[in-house]
């Protein structure tokens, strides 16, 4: 069936953790010059996976709930990488970043639990992938290493993240939020902090020190005067913010909507959400 397809550009592999591909992936050898996107969902390692390394024009790789051994076997020069799993171990995927290098532009790492070997991940991205324009990463620590990575991504346009729970003293946290705001690249247009409590807690500090020309800001809720004022002041100062996407949009009070409607358009989170 695969051999009969001409110029196959995209394929999705769903295996439900069975043990063999029975020649299905091996058949992709004849499509190695045309295949551009591969989605691998719930698969374990099989030697057939090695065929993907010969796909010369592969640009997009999406790996969902696959085994560590399978992920460790992949190393292609790709521009878009998405990995979703219950737990992501950086030691099993850094070879992909090293191989992709400056070609990597879009990266999504979605983990239900903390990312293992996180510092190894951040260092690898920092030194190998400076051209990332879209970064979506979950369960990351709000560390100086994370800030250093963001500071190094001077072409970044879309940033979405949520932090893992950690105990940071309040004064140190305020300083880190301020530093984070100051290092955001001027190219950044889209910031999603819906899953982050630190930035929302100190939204006034963050926006007062943010010079990025944000067009879209996505947050969980606007629940007090401090957040309202911080967003309005940012709008007046930067004049670039067009939309604030609110996850709990239906719970916004009438007064908050009225206060902000002259400065920025409040919309539901999903209406402006951008995925990888």
Domain assignment present for residue 260? The answer is: yes
The answer to whether residue 120 scores a pLDDT higher than 70 is: yes
What's the confidence (pLDDT) of residue 1? Answer: 47
Domain assignment of residue 18, yes or no: no
Q: According to the model, what pLDDT value does residue 7 have? A: 73
Picking from 81, 71, 37, 80, the residue whose alpha carbon sits closest to that of residue 55 is 37
**What average pLDDT does the segment 118-125 reach?**
96
pLDDT at 2: 52
Per-residue pLDDT, averaged over 40-58, amounts to 83
Q: How far apart are CA 164 and CA 179, in angstroms?
A: 19
Would you say residue 138 has pLDDT above 60? Answer: yes
Which residues make Cβ contacts (< 8 Å) with residue 47, sequence separation at least 6?
none
Q: Could you give the 3-state DSSP secondary structure of residue 27? A: helix
**Per-residue confidence (pLDDT) for residue 229, from 0 to 100:** 94
Asked if residue 246 is part of any domain, the answer here is yes
Average pLDDT over residues 95-121: 95
For residue 75, tell me if it sits in a domain.
Answer: no
What DSSP assignment string belongs to 142-156?
A: --HHHHHHHHH-TT-
Region 152-159 average pLDDT:
98
Token code pair at residue 170: 């309040």
Residue 4 has pLDDT above 60, yes or no: no
Instruction: Specify if 231 maps to a domain.
Output: yes
Instruction: Give pLDDT, residue 23.
Output: 63
Task: Give the mean model confidence (pLDDT) for residues 74-80.
Answer: 89
Q: How confident is the model at residue 13 (pLDDT cuts 50, 70, 90)?
A: confident
In a domain, 19, yes or no: no
**Residues 14-35: tens digit of each pLDDT:** 776 565 666 666 777 777 788 8
Instruction: Please state the domain count of the chain.
Output: 1
Domain of residue 209 covers 167-276
CB of 42 within 8 A of CB of 16?
A: yes
Give the CA-trace dihedral at 271, 272, 273, 275, to 10 degrees. 110
From the list 190, 194, 160, the residue with the least C-alpha distance to 269 is 194
pLDDT score of 45: 79
Q: Average model confidence (pLDDT) for the chain?
A: 89
Tens of pLDDT along 210-230? 999 999 999 998 988 999 999
DSSP string, 217-254: EEES---SHHHHHHHHHHHHHH----EEEETTGGG--H
Instruction: Give bridge partners of residue 37 from the DSSP assignment.
Output: 10, 60
Distance CA 193, CA 187 (A): 17
User: Bridge-partner residues for 240, per DSSP?
Assistant: none
Q: Which two tokens stand for residue 123?
A: 């260092």
How many residues comprise the chain?
276
| DSSP assigned state of 116 | B
Question: Does the structure show a pLDDT above 60 at 5?
Answer: no
Tell me whether residue 32 is in a domain.
no
Contact 63, 42 (CB under 8 A): no
| 259 belongs to a structural domain | yes
């Amino acid at each position: 069936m695969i051999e009969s397809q001409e110029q196959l550009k995209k394929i999705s592999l769903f295996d439900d953790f069975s043990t063999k591909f029975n020649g299905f992936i091996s058949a992709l050898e004849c499509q190695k010059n045309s295949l551009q996107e591969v989605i691998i969902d719930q698969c374990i390692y099989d030697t057939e996976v090695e065929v993907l390394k010969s796909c010369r024009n592969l640009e997009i790789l999406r790996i969902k709930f696959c085994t560590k051994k399978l992920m460790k076997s992949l190393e292609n020069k790709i521009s878009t990488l998405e990995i979703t799993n219950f737990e992501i171990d950086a030691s099993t995927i850094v070879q992909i970043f090293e191989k992709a290098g400056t070609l990597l532009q879009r990266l999504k790492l979605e983990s239900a639990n903390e990312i293992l070997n996180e510092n190894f991940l951040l260092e690898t991205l920092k030194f190998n992938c400076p051209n990332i324009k879209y970064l979506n990463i979950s369960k990351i620590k709000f560390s100086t290493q994370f800030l250093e990575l963001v500071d190094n991504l001077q072409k970044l346009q879309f940033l979405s993240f949520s932090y893992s729970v950690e105990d940071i003293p309040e004064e140190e946290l305020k300083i880190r939020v301020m530093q984070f705001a100051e290092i955001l690249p001027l190219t950044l247009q889209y910031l999603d902090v819906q899953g982050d409590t630190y930035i929302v807690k100190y939204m006034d500090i963050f926006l007062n020190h943010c010079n990025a020309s944000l067009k879209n800001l996505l947050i969980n809720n606007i629940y007090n005067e401090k957040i309202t004022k911080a967003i309005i002041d940012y709008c007046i100062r930067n004049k670039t913010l067009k939309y604030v996407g609110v996850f709990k949009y239906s719970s916004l009070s009438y007064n908050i909507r009225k206060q902000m409607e002259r400065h920025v358009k409040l919309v539901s989170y999903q209406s402006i959400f951008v995925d990888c």
